[in-house]
Amino acid sequence: MKWPQRVGLFLGPALTLAIVLAPTPEGLTVPGQRGLAVLALCVVWWLSTPVALPVTALVGLALLPLLGVLEPYAAFSLFGNQAVFFVVGVFLVASAMLRTGLSKRLALAAMRRMAGSEDMLAGSVLLLSWGLCAVVVSHAVAALMLPIVLGLIQALDLGPRSRLARRLLLSMAWGTIIGSNLTLFSSARASLALSTYTTWASETGSLHSLGFLEFSSATLLICLLLLPIAFVWLRISFPNEGVPLAPAVERLNDDVAQLGSISAAEVRTIGVLVLFVPALVIWGPEYGLGTIALVGSAALFVLKVLEWKEAERYVNWGIVLLYGGAIAIGAGLDQSGAMKWVVTSVLPTGSVPVFIALLVIGGLAMLMTEFVSNAAVIALALPAVLAISPALGLDGRLVTVLMSVACGLAFSMPTSTPAMAMAFGTGYLRLRRVVAVGSVLSLAALCILAAVAWKIWPLLGLGVSS
């Protein structure tokens, strides 16, 4: 065990014990204080990795009832969150594409157009993932892109330490994360934020127009600025390693030739995909992404495209356990009141420069989203921010868009979004490395978001009052 792991192994429990034994701050419940203690342990262990990431999540899940944060039945029922089963379903769909050879055909079609260089290949994955989010919900884009990226990685014969493999996976994940802010079609949290604003504005009598055009016109510049920054930063963080792309294209072409004409299993897989992606967009909001993903993956078994013994090799059950445990911990913070206390304690009050207020609000939303569902952050934090926005001289519409975008810019943790969980689930990414790289992009994104909100959004009618 390396020294950071030894330090983390003892620091996590020590910090947890210190928080539990400390006097309970005013406004914070005892269960909420203990929920923060559980989170402290998990964060320290996730970053120092004295034990495997999923083990840490399971320890955190067990501590919720042991420390009285939640009742046992409530804590363990949270593990069955829709997002967990969405990730499972996507991995199963990806396994069908890999098993049938469909991913190889798609990868070949992609590489024939994008294999001019490593930069062109990674940039194309980033751009495609970003652009598709303009018309398709970002979760569905990640589900569609993951098998293609895995096909590229297999075709290039990239090992687990490959810089290009990591760059391709993060290009897919970061592209969908940035793209999730493009339009109201791109994510559910934007619609939730607008709904929260409408309720608040009707109660306060300050209702102004905030719809599709207002949202997209405010977020487009941020998305356009972040895209090249993400590309350059990934290029710097994961330099080219001289992978010969032309031989890979030839090898992939030979593999596809050996597959022959498209098989019946591939046709059935395509049929499921043709229904699966639109279903996520149309029925996902009503029935849940997890429900649609499970129905789609079950269809693959019914159609004999998949056999369980083969399919289970493609599902990273460790990531599923990590994601489920993290969601339960986040829900524990929500239900115990810890999240609300953190929000109200950190939010600026009184006379604060506008730019600083925007940085604090955006930074808090970004940080919380790394560990907690972005929908939960919107539901809990946005009403509190809207309540103090007049005192800070901030337009309620500006605050609403700011929070929605900030909650969609978490680039580091596998617990932040399904796209990041999928990328980590491939086994190519290492948490500490991704946190180091993703934190820099998050900081840049925060500064850009605050600057655009401060100087540009007032020109679009999302004003900052003097």
User: Is the predicted pLDDT of residue 30 greater than 80, yes or no?
Assistant: yes
pTM of the model: 0.85
pLDDT in tens, 73-117: 888 887 777 778 888 888 888 888 888 888 777 777 776 777 678
Residue 51: Cβ within 10 Å count: 17
Instruction: Return the pLDDT at 324.
Output: 86
Q: Measured between alpha carbons, how far apart are the two ends of the chain, in Å?
A: 56
Q: For residue 254, what are its two tokens?
A: 């030979």
Let me know how long the chain is.
466
- Measured between alpha carbons, how far is residue 267 from residues 98, 102, 138, 356 in Å? 14, 9, 25, 55
The span from the CA of 459 to the CA of 7, in Å, is 50
221/187: higher pLDDT:
221
* Phi, psi dihedral angles at 134 (to 5 degrees): -65, -25
Pick from 347, 355, 362, 351: nearest CA to 458:
355
Cβ-proximal residues to 212 (8 Å cutoff; 6+ apart), any chain: 183, 184
What pLDDT score was predicted for residue 211? 73
What 8-state DSSP symbol labels residue 262? P
Could you tell me how far CA 359 lies from the centroid of its own chain?
Answer: 21
Rounded Cα–Cα distance for residues 122 and 57 (Å)? 32
C-alpha span between 89 and 293 (Å, rounded): 5
Both tokens of 407, joined, read 């909650």
Burial class (CB in 10 A: 0-12, 13-18, 19+), 205: exposed
Residues 148 and 102 sit within 8 Å (Cβ to Cβ): no
DSSP class of residue 464 equals B
List pLDDT tens digits, range 371-396.
887 877 888 888 888 888 888 888 88
DSSP lists the bridge partners of residue 394 as 464
Q: What is the C-alpha separation between 226 and 357, in angstroms, rounded?
A: 21
Q: Which pairs from 2-8 meet CB under 8 Å and 24+ separation?
A: 4/48, 5/48, 5/49, 5/50, 6/50, 7/48, 8/44, 8/45, 8/47, 8/48, 8/49, 8/50
Residue 253 scores a pLDDT above 80: no
Type of residue at 10: F
- Interval 294-316: pLDDT, tens: 999 999 999 999 888 878 777 78
In the predicted structure, residue 209 carries a pLDDT above the cut 70? no
Between CA 8 and CA 402 the distance in angstroms is 35
Which amino acid, 280?
L
Please name every residue paired with 355 in a beta bridge, in sequence order, or none if there are none: none
Between 75 and 349, whose confidence is greater? 75
Buried/exposed 279-312: b ≥16 CB within 10 Å, e otherwise: bbeeebeeebbbbbbbbbbebbeebebbeeeebe
Residue 403 φ then ψ, to 5°: -65, -40
Strand (E) positions, 160-244? none
The pLDDT of residue 466 is: 40
Q: Which of 160, 162, 47 is nearest to 435 (CA)?
A: 47
Q: Kindly state the percentage of the chain with pLDDT values over 70.
A: 97
Residue 146 has pLDDT above 60, yes or no: yes
Mean pLDDT value of segment 140-148: 84
User: For 450-465, how does the pLDDT look when each residue is reduced to its tens digit (9 = 90+)?
Assistant: 999 999 998 888 765 5
Overall average pLDDT of the 9-34 stretch:
94
Cβ neighbors of 99 (< 8 A, separation 6 or more) are: 265, 305, 306, 310, 311, 314
| pLDDT above 80 (res 259) | no
pLDDT on residue 41? 95
Write down the domain spans for the chain. Answer: 82-187+208-227+238-317
Instruction: State the average pLDDT over residues 414-437.
Output: 90
211-230 CB burial, b ≥16 within 10 A, e <16:
eeebbbebbeebbebbbeeb
Amino acid 196: pLDDT: 85
Average pLDDT, the chain: 86
**pLDDT tier, 118 (very low <50, low <70, confident <90, very high otherwise):** confident
